Structure 1
Amino acid sequence: MELVDLYDEDRIPLGRTAERHAPKGPGEYRTVVHVCIFDSRGRLLIQQRSREKESWPEAWDVSVGGGVDAGETSRQAAEREVREELGLALDLSGVRPSVTVNFDGGFDDFFLVERDLALEDLTLQKEEVAQARWADLPEICAMADRGEFIAYPRSFLAFLFDMRGTFGFPTK
């Protein structure tokens, strides 16, 4: 059973945990993370979710995503998810999420980083990830138009690409 910490609407810890997929009570929220790994050419590493995934099977998504476990910070969860799904050690020390999206059940922290990675150096977690590749924004929008990419608003995808060059982000 995967436990998550619960927060109030202002993201103040409630001091309680709940099962990750169990319905939450009124005023109870959880945190999830996404990591968007861009290369120096401005492409985003995207992953195709495995067909065994309960939600969005075989759909393409940003580099990594997952839930924040009880007792973890958002940053720790982002590092863990990258390690688990891509087999990549990513140090996010001192890095804050570039954007947080509020959704019905909680908070979704998006970390944007730049790394030039060789796809053959990744070790994909087969239960989670079918394949990974680099793609630019027009490719991703075309995939979304064909229903192949998770249904993020096109403007949000463009925002993620715009954010990577606006405020600077870690390249270590």
Structure 2
Amino acid sequence: MGSATLEEKSLKALFKAVIGRFLQMTTLYIPMTPLMRVKIQRIRGVCIGENVFLGTDVYLDLVHPDMITIEDNVAISGRNTIITHSCPPYHFKENHPRVGSIFSKVSPVTIKKGAWITVGVVILPGVTIGENAIVTAGSVVTKNIPANCIAQGNPAEVVYELK
């Protein structure tokens, strides 16, 4: 017996979610140009500025794509994940009453102008990546990254300020 819950509360929301999931899977598994990936993500509801590069295998939150903002001149390399919500499975909530209140979160993600998200970065809910910031490969971003700096690690920490 599974513990998943349906997040969509109306038939219209469910239909929109099914289409959104189909579009997300299209961008992941069908070869296409970065511009085509940007256009499809805009259809899903992701707010994307001008001159944005979306690499291959970029996974953007399925449930709340409208809570992701990617400003102008941003480059997001391949194999990245951007999540705007987290909700522990039901059995954790039952066995650990505090888990739901601690780990459940729905919060927007913003990537500011000129930022570069390199390969394999995971961005968690509620994070803002500052203007012209660089997040290095394999980092897990759990808190805001200021403008004009390089961040790396798990959790991502600022390692260098750009002048």
Range of TM-score over shorter length: under 0.3
Q: Report the structure, 1 or 2, having the larger strand content.
A: 1
Query: Normalized against structure 1, the TM-score is what?
Result: 0.24
Larger RCO (CA within 8 A; separation ≥ 6): 1
